[in-house]
Amino acid sequence: MPATTLSIPTPDGRSDAFAAFPDGGGTYPGVLMYPDAFGPRPALWGMARELAGHGYYVLVPNVFHRHRPAPVFDLPEHITTENRPALFGQIMPLIEAHTAERALGDAAAYLDFLTAQREVRGGPIATIGYCMGAVLAMRTATAHPDRVAAVAGFHPGALVTDQPDSPHRRIPGLTAEVHLGLAENDMTPEAITEISQAFDAAGVGYSCEIYPGTVHGFTMADTDAFDEAGSRRHWERLLALLESTLE
């Protein structure tokens, strides 16, 4: 499976990125994969390779590129429940610095770069994300409705907040089909209702599913949160979404 590291021009300098794609010499639908709060790292790059094996060009940008290249944090080989608090002491300042304005500037740059790659087929792409990456995937899809046909978020971050720039407030402009795969405590029933009403009002196809027995981070094989059944369900839902929207 071909894979490469790349450098993407953004409004705030160059963003390093990882890309994986099939070894077929053709062109493939593009997928922009946003990482979770731990950032791009071998576990994410492995997921990109797995998705590329199903016939997609997958770009994983370093959303923390303003701070340092990936892997951004000095992570243990396996992230345990015990070492999460100390890690988040390092991570939260970078998350807080990644404002909606910065995210949208990056998103436009990532889309331009992805769709210009010679291995990427013309037409709309998909945005997918994990944890905070789900927020970035949604922001990208709502800001570029003519360029994004599918958006998927797994164990998402704060999609519904009381802030003026809450991601759910931008859903009226959405045209992409959506799947949200939630751990059992990711979103309150009230938040699920609110975002579902926003999808209904936008007239888009969507599913918002709680994956039973899972905790936040269930797709990440390098953490204690990983759940094999939840990960398998995530791949099933993601591949079905991409097949129905990008093929």
Domains along the chain? Answer: 3-246 (3.40.50.1820)
Contact 145, 45 (CB under 8 A): no
Q: Under DSSP, is residue 136 helix (H, G, I), strand (E, B) or coil? A: helix
**Cα dist from 179 to 16, 65, 185, 205, whole Å:** 27, 27, 17, 9
Structure tokens at 229: 């059944």
Taking CA atoms, 18 is separated from 44, 156, 168, 226, in Å, by 10, 22, 28, 23
Residues listed for the chain: 247
Q: pLDDT truncated to tens, each residue of the chain (247 aa)?
A: 789 999 999 999 999 999 999 998 899 999 999 999 999 999 999 999 999 999 999 999 999 999 999 999 999 999 999 999 999 999 999 999 999 999 999 999 999 999 999 999 999 999 999 999 999 999 999 999 999 999 999 999 999 999 999 999 999 999 999 999 999 999 999 999 999 999 999 999 999 999 999 999 999 999 999 999 999 999 999 999 999 999 7
- pLDDT, residue 132, reads 98
DSSP-based three-state secondary structure for 163: coil
Say how far apart CA 78 and CA 80 lie, in whole Å: 6
Could you tell me which of 111, 16, 104 has the C-alpha nearest to residue 65? Answer: 16
**Sheet-wide strand order for 148-154:** 3-10, 13-20, 57-61, 30-34, 125-130, 148-154, 177-182, 206-210
Token pair for residue 9? 């021009």
Q: What is the DSSP string of 20-35?
A: E--SSSS-B-EEEEE-
pLDDT tens column, 17-56: 999 999 988 999 999 999 999 999 999 999 999 999 999 9
